[in-house]
Amino acid sequence: MNTIRAINLGRTDYKECWDLQQRLLEQRIAGEVEDLLLLTQHNHVYTIGKSGDDNHLLASKDELKSRGVAVYHNDRGGDITYHGPGQLVGYPILDLNNYYLDLHRYLRDIEEVIIRTLVSYGVKGVRDPKHTGVWVGNDKICAIGVKTSRWVTMHGFALNVNTDLTYFSQIVPCGISGKGVTSLALVVGHEIDMNEVSLRLAESFGEVFNAVVSSSDQEAARIRTSVQAEVIA
């Protein structure tokens, strides 16, 4: 059985976390680190994937500046999405050579992790056969976009937990018109403890990937220090 180390990074800036992922991906390819599941909440940011359309960003530069929202084009799959406080973002750094060499299955397994996490709160999440992600009714609750290099993964998923959904009004979420977005807090009617949902998600991740998911305070501190050092530099 594989082992996955879960690391809660706390609140991070998107660019520093993206750079961290790239370094860890290279280290995972070289066999210098084990499989990792990075969990974080980002400061306000819109990210546009490889298949994204800049026209799906509806806000002007002045509006973005007034709300303190950054914008990045990145190398994941998918279109535009929002990240911010109250949203649980997960970045698995996994060597799929140890699991299976099937990217479509990997995406379905990430969806399954989210669906099981939602079930633990009494919420039914579903798939849309036309669009990657997880939905509650007609509203998207989790966006997914990934990249692999030599079958090692980076980027991942963004689960709306206590997310301020007004930020989605300034984009066409994931480039999909005619559908809404929601959050776990909105569905259940009360705010959700972010640490608790992180623990439940890590447990679901282990079940779906048939792995032991554990945490290490020492490893978490080392990686968090790495992010902080980048910010200072």
Average pLDDT of the residues of the chain: 91
Q: Which of 146, 174, 185, 227 is catalytic?
A: 174
Residue type, 190: H
Domain CATH for 195 = 3.30.930.10
69-128 pLDDT, tens digit per residue, is 998 888 888 888 999 999 999 999 999 999 999 999 999 999 999 999 999 999 999 999
Provide the pLDDT for residue 138.
Answer: 94
174 labelled catalytic: yes
Q: How confident is the model at residue 217 (pLDDT cuts 50, 70, 90)?
A: low
Residue of 224 and 49 predicted with greater confidence: 49
Q: How confident is the model at residue 176 (pLDDT cuts 50, 70, 90)?
A: low
Residue 233 has pLDDT above 50, yes or no: no
Give the domain extent around 188.
2-232
Question: Which residue is associated with the tokens 């290099």?
Answer: 149
DSSP assignment string, 114-159: HHHHHHTTT---EEETTEEEEEETTEEEEEEEEEEETTEEEEEEEE
Residue of 227 and 161 predicted with greater confidence: 161
Taking the C-alpha atoms of residue 189 and residue 89, their distance in angstroms, rounded to an integer, is 21
Backbone angles phi, psi at 223, to 5 degrees: -70, -40
Residue 222 has pLDDT above 70, yes or no: yes
| Mean pLDDT (whole number) for 143-172 | 95
Domains: count for the chain: 1
Provide the pLDDT for residue 178.
Answer: 74
pTM of the predicted model, to two decimals?
A: 0.91
